[in-house]
Amino acid sequence: MVDWLIRLFFNNCPDSLKKPFKRRFGLLLLLLPLFIAGPVQSEQLPIESLLQRSYLDDYYSNVVYGYRIVTETEKYGARYTGNNLRCSNCHLNAGRKENGLPLNVAGMYPKWRSKNGRRNGIGLRIRECFVYSLNGIMPPEDAPEVMAVAAYISYLSHGETIGKAPAGRGVPTLPDTGYDPNPASGKAIYDQTCAACHGSNGQGIAHMPPLWGMNAYNEGAGMASVHRAAGFIWANMPLGQERTLSHQQALDVSAYINMQIRPGDPREYKLLKLFETVSWFFDR
Amino acid sequence: MALNLLADISPWLPSHSSDVNIRRELFAALIGAILVIPQGITFAYLAGLPPEYGIYTAIFVTLFASLFGTSSMLGGPNTAVAILIGIAVAPFAGRGSPLYIEYVLLLSFMVGLIQLTIWLLRGGRFFMYLSPAAITGITTGVGFILILSSLDGIFGLSSSDTHFFYHKLYFLFDDAENLVNPFSFTVGATTVVAGMIARHYIARYAILIAITVGYLCGLLLMSYYSQVEMELELLGHLPINPLPFSHPPMGTDYLITGLAMLPDALIIALIGLAQSMVIVKQLRNDTDQPIQPDKEVFAQGIANFMAPFFSSFAGSGSFNRTQVNQSMRAETPLTGIVSAGIVLVFILLLGPVLTYLPMPAISGTLMLVGIGMIKSDEIKRLFNWRGELAVFATTLFCIVFLGLQTGLVVALILSVLLFVISASSLELIVEREAVSVKIRVEGHLFYASIDQLSQILKKHRQENVILDLSVVTYLDLSATEAITRELAKRDIESTFFAVKLSSERLQNQFETRMADQPVQFIQYNHTY
């Protein structure tokens, strides 16, 4: 009741007035259940125990939402997703694996948007992965999904130094092998070591993500760069036997994968998506 | 009583309405379905939920409200209710997060329960007291809020820190070239202009035309620029499930949040019912539909009670959709029931195409709805009545500057005040006749209004008095007491005091209380 009255009268005051008030009373009331349940604020809780909770504050509920979007993109991020991938298919172990595109990178991005800063900040990277890696549509910068993943990323980044790259950021850069990537030998490697999981046509099988075809990442994605994909494959694939391929083998298979057919870059094929949709509409 | 309640629970059957014009009803249902889709999406946005929840609300809340209703009123997602849900739940969880959705379901469930309680207590009639001026104030205020919130989408602003409306306007003027997204603006403005033009020619389809034009405008832009370059916000995929079962979260964990949201639930329940009852009242005046207000209260309550079981949030009767429905001459709940089905079919068929619907086009329709809610002729009429104008202006001011919640509470209080004031004020007409003074009283004679009468009587203590109460229908004990007191002070020898009453019942009542008093009666049917 008290909380409601406070909100009734202070919701509409300018933020400067509102903040101290909310902090003093509103938060106290909100945190009451947490105090009963045990201390939370000082230490970051592991995500697994956050998932069990039914009362979370604004920040932690966004963290949990962000975690769900990353691990079950097809369900929680469906609005902007256009293929069968999840964020965690590439950002391995829900963004917590070194050299597997970890997401503990909040400190590498400016914390505040500059005034017309649509073009920087962690939000933009998130939105870009929706457009390219998930071959979807670009969410607005203030979409709840983007805010939630940003909250999750800053949760993961707890303890990292601002401005310093966290250990194992991105994927390893493979040294120059002196040979050009060879897709023909890549095909042989693929059929032998990868097809069992990713399907003989790269279409993926149950619980395994596709590598090419219309349900994979598009040509604008980070993974579409042969060298970056090679680093990812070398450090993480075949799943469970990582780093068994040689650098050259990783480059070859990466070149083979990225030669295959996949959705175009949305910056070039502007209405392609729409035509796909419409043709799907008439095919039914 | 029990029988009454049982009768309220039964769903509508075609046999309840004689000679239904099926074709007319079906066509009205089609139009209703087209109207509700953009509204559902935007109201879901106002409530802080993903768009599909608005669609579910448009399907299931409409369905249940009509199924148990008695009129052609269309229920479903509602502006004020959606905004209030957003305000209520926002402090407890991040917008759109799974926890947030659970809390919204819980809130809707509570709203349904409160409304059902009101139905059990037969409280529906009290909403008839809400003054029309307050309602005009509320609709105008909500229209204003709608227009402002549509600016976000039309200009492509980020909703970051533009909370207060003059903040927003200030930001817009101050920093237009950095903030305004020209592509969003093109689509949004095209939509609004198309809607305004269409309103002049075929008002009924204005929203439909506006949104189609906005969509085409978006397509045109998308064939020259990519969405990434434009940063044009699109609706996105709607993961629609024809049977989206869910349930309100239960358990002691949710008790604390539930309790904290109780005042909000109460306000939402009252506001939802108030809007529905005002619509019902209008329909009862304007048509001969067999409307039972209590049953409509039940219908609203059960619709909101069921909403959380179908991934929907609370709603209420909708002014704008009911109006259109009425203009199509739909007369039965059949319209609402069928329109719910049509929405489902539409969304399942059109879902993939809707994915590319630009959000500024939706915001544009929101602005059109907002503009439509500000009815200048209704406001002009208010200018002739000081009291009503004051209620209207205060309500509007509070909604705009202090927020919707505060405004609604103020509107309720003011309506009650206005009612009490008007009920307790007497019209006293003093006419001097040959040998006496005739005092004609209009209004209710009770403790709150008796003072005025006593003053007048005091003034004419020395004269013969005829007290004409022939249009007074209510008299309480304190009124008779006051008259007795006055009689005691009069000079009974040289003057007379006569009373004229409106009915035999009142006269009997009066005579027994006035026994032994020097008072004469003029027969109630006596003409002089």
| DSSP codes of every residue in B192-239 | HHHHHHHHHH-GGGHHHHHHHHHHHHHHHHHHHS-HHHHT--B-----
Supply the pLDDT for residue B172: 72
pLDDT over 90 percentage in chain B: 19
B contacts of A62 (beta carbons < 8 Å): 94, 97
Average pLDDT, stretch B420-448?
84
Q: Once rounded to an integer, what is the mean pLDDT over residues B161-177?
A: 67
Is there a shared CATH topology between the A47-168 domain and the A183-258 domain? yes
| Domain locations along chain B | 20-130+180-361, 426-522
Is A108 part of the contact surface with chain B (CB cutoff 8 Å)? no
Give bridge partners of residue B440 from the DSSP assignment.
Answer: B429, B468
Q: Per-residue pLDDT for B170 more than 70?
A: yes
pTM for this structure? 0.81
Best B163, B175, B228, B409 residue to mutate vs chain A (most A CBs within 10 Å)? B228
C-beta atoms of A65 and B94 within 8 A: yes
- A22: DSSP letter: I
Residues in chain B within 8 Å Cβ distance of A131 = 227-228
Which amino acid type is present at position A61? Answer: S
Mean pLDDT of B143-152: 84
Name the average pLDDT for chain B: 84
Residue B163's pLDDT band (boundaries 50, 70, 90)? low
Compute the distance between CA of residue B218 and CA of residue B212 in angstroms, rounded to an integer.
10
Query: What confidence category does residue B159 fall into, taking pLDDT thresholds of 50, 70 and 90?
Result: low
Q: Decide: B433 and B459 in contact? Cβ < 8 Å.
A: no
Contact between A145 and A69 (Cβ < 8 Å): yes
Measured between beta carbons, the chain B residues lying within 8 angstroms of A84 are none
Q: Is the pLDDT confidence value at B307 over 50?
A: yes
For chain A, give every domain's residue range.
Answer: 47-168, 183-258
What tens digit of pLDDT does each residue of B190-204 get? 999 999 999 888 877
List chain A pLDDT tens, one digit each, 284 residues: 344 444 444 444 444 334 333 434 444 444 444 444 444 444 677 888 888 777 777 788 889 999 999 999 988 988 898 888 999 999 999 988 888 899 988 888 775 444 444 556 788 888 889 989 998 888 888 888 888 999 999 899 888 878 788 888 888 888 888 788 888 899 999 998 998 899 888 888 888 999 998 888 988 888 998 889 999 999 998 888 888 888 899 999 999 999 888 888 888 776 666 666 666 556 54
pLDDT at B461: 83
* A-B contacts (CB, under 8 Å): 153
Q: In what order do the strands lie in the sheet with B520-522?
A: B427-432, B436-442, B464-469, B497-501, B520-522
Q: Which residue has the higher pLDDT, B290 or B64?
A: B64
Cα A72 from Cα A75, distance rounded (Å): 6
- Helix (H), strand (E) at residue B487: helix B477-489
Q: How far is A9 from chain B (nearest CA, A)?
A: 7
Q: Say whether residue B355 is in contact with chain A using an 8 A CB cutoff.
A: yes
For residue A11, list its beta bridge partners: none
Instruction: Name residue B358's beta-bridge partners.
Output: B234
Residue B191 pLDDT? 94
Tell me the CA distances in angstroms from A107 to A93, A121, A132, A155, one per residue in order. 20, 10, 23, 11
pLDDT exceeds 50 at position B526 = no
**Which amino acid makes up residue B454?**
S
CATH 1.10.760.10 fits A183-258, yes or no: yes
**Any idea how long chain B is?**
528
> For the domain A47-168, what is the CATH code?
1.10.760.10
Q: Please tell me the predicted confidence (pLDDT) of residue A273.
A: 62
Picking from A61, A73, A269 by the largest number of B CB atoms within 10 A of its own CB, the best residue to mutate is A61
pLDDT digits (tens, 9 = 90+) for B216-268: 999 888 888 888 878 888 888 888 888 888 888 887 778 888 888 999 999 89
Consecutive H or E run containing A84: none
At residue B92, does pLDDT exceed 90? no
Alpha helices in B328-476 (DSSP H): 334-354, 359-373, 376-382, 386-402, 404-424, 450-459
CA distance A261 to chain B (A): 21
The band of B13, judged by pLDDT with boundaries at 50, 70 and 90, is confident
Query: Helix H segments across chain A?
Result: 2-10, 15-21, 27-37, 47-52, 58-71, 73-76, 87-90, 92-95, 122-131, 144-156, 183-189, 195-198, 226-236, 247-259, 272-283
CA distance B397 to B415: 15
Q: What's the average model confidence in pLDDT over B13-41?
A: 80
Predicted confidence (pLDDT) per residue in B179-192, tens digit? 788 889 999 999 99
Question: CB of B482 within 8 A of CB of B453?
Answer: yes
The domain defined by B426-522 folds into Transcription Regulator spoIIAA (3.30.750)
| Residue to substitute from B101, B226, B262, B406, interface A, most A β-carbons within 10 A | B226
State the Cα–Cα distance between residues B422 and B416, nearest whole angstrom: 10
Q: Does residue A139 belong to the interface with chain B, where contact is any CB pair within 8 Å?
A: yes
B260's torsion region: left (phi>0), alpha (psi -120 to 50) or beta?
A: alpha
Asked if the model's pLDDT at residue B323 lies above 60, the reply is yes
Per DSSP, the three-state class of B497 is strand
| Predicted pLDDT at B65 | 92
Residue A136 tokens, joined: 């979807």
> Distance of alpha carbon B65 from its chain centroid, rounded?
15
A68 contacts in B (CB within 8 Å)?
Answer: 98
Largest CA distance in chain B: 101
Residues B351-362 have a mean pLDDT of: 85
Whole-angstrom Cα distance, residue A235 to residue A244? 9
Q: What is the pLDDT of residue B525?
A: 54
B222 in A contact zone (CB under 8 Å):
yes
In whole angstroms, how far apart are CA B523 and each of B499, B501, B503, B508, B518?
9, 7, 9, 11, 16
Backbone angles phi and psi of B441, in degrees to 5: -110, 130
